[in-house]
Amino acid sequence: MSVLAGFDLVIEVSRETVLELAKANVEFGGQSINPPFEIFVPVAYPGASGLGHLIVHKVDLMLAGDRDVMLAFFFHNSSVIVDPPLSITASLLDGTMGVKATLELVDSGKPLKKVVSADLSNATVNLQFSDAAEARIASALAGKPLDPATFKSLARQKAESYVRAVGRQTLPLEFQVEPGKFGSVSDGIFERLELHNILGTPNMFFQFEQAVGLFGMLLPGIPSGDHSQKDGPAILSGHDLAFSVSARAFHRLVFCPAIAAPAKLSVAELPPSCGSGGGIDRDGVTLTSISDTFADGRIDVNGTVEKSGTCYDAHGSFHAAVTFSIVAGQLVANTAVDTPSIVVEIPWYCQLATALLGPIGLIISGIVSSSMDDSIQKMKSMTDGLAGKGMTFGTGGFGGAKFDDVAVSPEGLTLHGFAPEIYLPLPQSPGISIEGSVVTDGYVGGSQGSYTVEAGCLEGTYPYTEVQQAQIGTYVAVPTLLGRPLQLEWRVEKINGYVSKFAAQMAVFDHLKGAGTTVVGSVNTHYPLPLPDGLDVVQDVHVGYTAGKVLVLKNTPPEGCFGLKVSVIALDPMGQSVSATSGVQFDGDVVEIGGGYHEKLAECIRFWIGVAEGYKLQDRVPRWVPVNYPPEAQLVEFIRFMFAVDTPEAQELLPHVRLAHGTSYTRALLSREAAGPSSLRGRQKQR
Amino acid sequence: MTDRRHKSLEIGSYAELLRREREILERIERMPNGGNLFLAHPFRLLADVGVVLAKKVEEEIRALHPELSGLGDGPYEALKASEQPQNVRFNVKGLFRRREE
């Protein structure tokens, strides 16, 4: 089995790791495909329209062919609902949606960078339904002008259109490619790079070992390898990654530069096998040749040296075996240098026997050790490069990759390791929320007059207009991961105190079915007149409603301003039940006051705040909140402050704050912020 | 003891030694570890390859190479008995320094 198939550097990423990367990075409709998630596919048929809804609970990935990737989306509790007049409801459907696309290396948008990508606009999609789902589809189509085969064909077409609209998706596998230049093992720079699947043979469980392979050439001017010669992933069982460097690339880019650097020579100036030079002097010994040969489990380093003395010429040869291990995640070389073999020519008797072998042996050991140390440093740089400098792998780089095994074969060196942790988006869970708002539909009456403040900062006369407003609240339930069609049960109830962050108390409520008017008893209502602080009235309120997929509520303007709590309980075809609550505020009676009242009030408040600050009434004094639908939290905070200070000025001004802010004041008091803790700190201080 | 494989070669003068140098070197080269044995103890080796030096010649050689006074029989016997290839193998290209050198 070939590991490198004639390439210089092969990076293998396991199928499982590619799947995790896809879950974290591929998006359908703006959401990641980390299950569970849901897909909505518009359905259009001549004379009819509707919505397909898939709840995906599992995603798998398989590699096929040269570069194809098959994503399998396992769905359940899914549905196709076609609106009238065709009126088809096929629910509780389960099955698999297969998406076949092609992986490719494309420009990342950064100079010289390529990234792994799949263009889903060319994807093909197939839909497989379970037998139970097939039966439900047949039942839903009974009596309809649409047969199951046509239905499924249309569903497949729509699903394919949806997937194709997703467009190009990119995995964070980025590589630098510089054609025509020598690549770099340590910096992860390729001269050429190809992407191909690596498919193994089936094991005893009929599972195929699969990986995505990045096949790179680092040396220009030599033909690329043939990826088809690689007959399976080199990734060890239980591992994510394998990085293999060919003996050729190791020799040219790692081993030889490690010898050349200390001699301050180019590789070409080195003696064979690195270059064609005559030899380099190292500590008085001339290195006349050196080579590295990959064998099973080791690299053999062989070389020759020469040394001449007063009465001798010595020629030596040496051999070292270099083995590798991973210690604490670091690549470590273990170099064993054999005793060198030396032939000495002597012209006549001279005493040198004891003086020669030891020093030459030491020097040879030094040469081999230092060159291998330098080589290992480059290999470490490669692993660091793979870990983030040169190639990114996963968001923010491949910084967390860990290696725990290294293997050497006649082809090259392979590091085995694990991908960094891939952070998947938080999975969703079934639930529901209420979204909606109240708008004013019309004006049904009111009054006009003048309001006089006889003394104090606000002294003056201000014109006002009272208006009674007919308002409509429109609310929809927004489900998440719930099957369709949903059975919705809407309720309204009076608010007992502030709206809580927690589930509604269901002790007093009215079910809303169809259309009608519900009476909610003993509701706290408010009228802005008499000025400035108006009137609170506890009374029954009458709320018109239409309850269906959408809840529409209408107030009765003469009943003033009040808040209610709206709840919805949803039940899906699989029997999952969830609920949600929201507040609704009707402002049936409001006052607009003019004549410079607001400007005067703001001025008075600022003056009063200045006094409060001067006397250090509170550790923290909030600013005046301008009148224009301020954030509820800001107004709540200001109101709390005025209550807490409790000076005559605050007592005088508080009703005017309520008048100025009008409905905002009421909304603030009924908001969730009002039910939360105050950010005011410290105790009131005495003057 | 003279090696019986070699025909005895009588050397009566230093000049004769140098004249017969090539023949003697060939004998040394054929001797296992011959170069190494020559460095260990040239007189023992010469005797082992059948070279019989006259007393006068040996004295001349010792005068030319004072370091030959420190030779020992033990290392020579050990090396001669060893059948292992040596890490340093000496090829002897000449026997002793010529007078003018």
DSSP-assigned states of every residue in B25-80? HHHHHHSTTHHHHHHH-HHHHHHHTTEEE-HHHHHHHHHH-GGGGG--HHHHHHHH
Which chain A residues touch B35 with a CB distance below 8 Å?
A: 344, 346
Query: Other C-beta atoms within 10 Å of A514: how many?
Result: 8
For residue A684, pLDDT over 60 is answered with: no
Cis peptide before A532 (omega within 30 of 0): yes
The DSSP result for A601-642, as a single string, is: HHHHHHHHHHHHHHTT-SSS-PPP--SSS--HHHHHHHHHHH
Pick among A348, A351, A360 to test the B interface (most B CBs inside 10 A): A348
Confidence tier at A499 by pLDDT (50, 70, 90) = very low
Q: Which residues in chain A are contacts of B68 at CB distance < 8 A?
A: 349
Q: How far is B92 from chain A (nearest CA, A)?
A: 5
User: What is the crossing angle of helices A148-166 and A131-141, to 10°?
Assistant: 110
Contacts of A623 (CB under 8 A, 6+ apart): A609, A638
How far apart are alpha carbons A238 and A241 in whole angstroms?
10
pTM (whole model) above 0.95:
no
CA–centroid distance for A193 within its chain = 28
* Lowest-confidence pick of A97-106, A189-198, A545-554, B62-71: B62-71
| Per-residue model confidence (pLDDT) at position B24 | 96
pLDDT of residue A650: 74
A347–B89 C-beta distance less than 8 A: no
Task: With CB atoms and an 8 Å threshold, state whether B93 touches A347.
Answer: yes
Question: Looking up tokens 């899906």, which residue turns up?
Answer: A572
Q: B98 to chain A nearest CA, in Å?
A: 9
Q: Which helix (H) or strand (E) is B83 found in, with range?
A: none
Q: Are B28 and B34 in contact (CB under 8 A)?
A: yes
CA-to-CA distance for B86 and B72, rounded, in angstroms?
A: 19
Cross-chain Cβ contact B38/A352 below 8 Å: no
The 3-state DSSP class for residue A225 equals coil
CA separation (Å) from B33 to B20, B44, B82, B85, B88? 21, 13, 9, 8, 10
Look at residue A408 and tell me whether its pLDDT is greater than 80: yes
Q: What is the pLDDT of residue A510?
A: 57
Query: Is A286 or A167 the better-scoring residue by pLDDT?
Result: A167
Contact A59, A19 (CB under 8 A): yes
Q: Is the pLDDT of residue A501 over 80?
A: no
Tokens of A79: 């549905």
B81: closest CA of chain A, how far (Å): 18
Q: Which residue in chain A is spatially nearest to B40 when comparing CA positions?
A: A353
Q: Number of C-alpha atoms within 13 angstroms, CB side, residue A299?
A: 32
CB-based contact A155:A128 (threshold 8 Å): no
Indicate yes or no: CB of A346 within 8 angstroms of CB of B96.
no
A305-319, A418-432, A517-531, A648-662: the lowest-pLDDT one: A648-662
Comparing CA positions, the residue from A133, A93, A95, A97 lying closest to residue A484 is A93
Q: How far is CA A500 from CA A292, A417, A474, A679, in A?
A: 75, 51, 21, 18
- CA torsion, ordered A115, A116, A121, A126, to nearest 10 deg: -170
Rounded to 10 degrees, the C-alpha dihedral A514/A516/A520/A523 comes to: 120
B-interface mutation test, from A349, A351, A356, most B Cβ less than 10 A away: A349
* Cβ contact B93–A357 (<8 Å): no
Name the residue of chain B whose CA is nearest to A357's CA: B88
Q: Closest Cα to residue A63, out of A229, A200, A203, A256? A: A200
Q: How far is CA A681 from CA A163, A171, A613, A622, A684, in A?
A: 54, 49, 14, 11, 9
The predicted structure's pLDDT at residue A395: 29
| Binary contact (B93, A346; C-beta < 8 A) | yes
Q: How far is A297 from chain B (nearest CA, A)?
A: 26
Sign of CA dihedral A440, A443, A446, A449: positive
The pLDDT value recorded for residue A496 is 63
**Measured CA angle at A172 (ends A170, A173), to 5 deg:** 105
A325 in Cβ contact with A398 (< 8 Å): no
Contact B39 A346 (CB under 8 A): yes
Range of lowest pLDDT (A17-21, A437-441, A519-523, B9-13): A519-523
Q: What distance, in Å, lies between the first and last C-alpha atoms of chain A?
A: 90
Instruction: Go through chain A and tell me how many residues it has.
Output: 687
Query: What kind and span of H or E run contains A141?
Result: helix A131-141
Contacts of A356 in chain B (CB under 8 A): 88
Q: What is the rounded average pLDDT of the residues A670-680?
A: 61
How long is chain B?
Answer: 101
Distance CA A124, CA A164 (A): 8
Q: Helices A353-384 and A256-263: crossing angle, nearest 10°?
A: 120
Q: What mean pLDDT do residues A146-150 have?
A: 93
B40 to A340: CB separation less than 8 angstroms, yes or no: no
Per the prediction, chain A carries an average pLDDT of 84
Cβ neighbours, 10 Å, residue A352: 18
Residue A145's CB: how many other CB atoms inside 10 A?
10
**What is the C-alpha separation between A227 and A147, in angstroms, rounded?**
47
Higher pLDDT, A248 or A378: A248
pLDDT tens readout for residues A583-602: 899 999 998 889 998 888 88
A394 CA: distance to closest CA in chain B (Å): 54
Range scoring the smallest mean pLDDT among A181-185, A267-271, A517-521, A607-611:
A607-611
Question: Which one of A348, A349, A356 has the shortest CB-CB distance to B88?
Answer: A356
Structure tokens at A366: 């030094």
Instruction: Give the type of residue at A165.
Output: A
**Percentage of chain B lying above the pLDDT 90 cut:** 52
Task: Quote the pLDDT of residue A682.
Answer: 41
- In this model, does residue A512 exceed pLDDT 50? yes
State percent of chain A over pLDDT 90.
Answer: 46
Distance CA A479, CA A496 (A): 26
Nearest chain A residue to B43 by CA: give it: A349
Between the CA atoms of A349, A353, A356 and A362, what dihedral angle is there, to the nearest 10 degrees? Answer: 170
- Per-residue pLDDT band for A502 (boundaries 50, 70, 90) equals very low
C-alpha to C-alpha distance for A77 and A54, rounded to whole angstroms: 8
Report the alpha-carbon distance of residue B76 to residue B70 in Å, rounded. 13
Query: Looking at the partner chain, which of A339, A348, A351 has a beta carbon nearest the beta carbon of B97?
Result: A348
Distance CA A62, CA A14 (A): 11
Q: How far is CA A99 from CA A33, A61, A161, A386, in A?
A: 13, 9, 11, 30
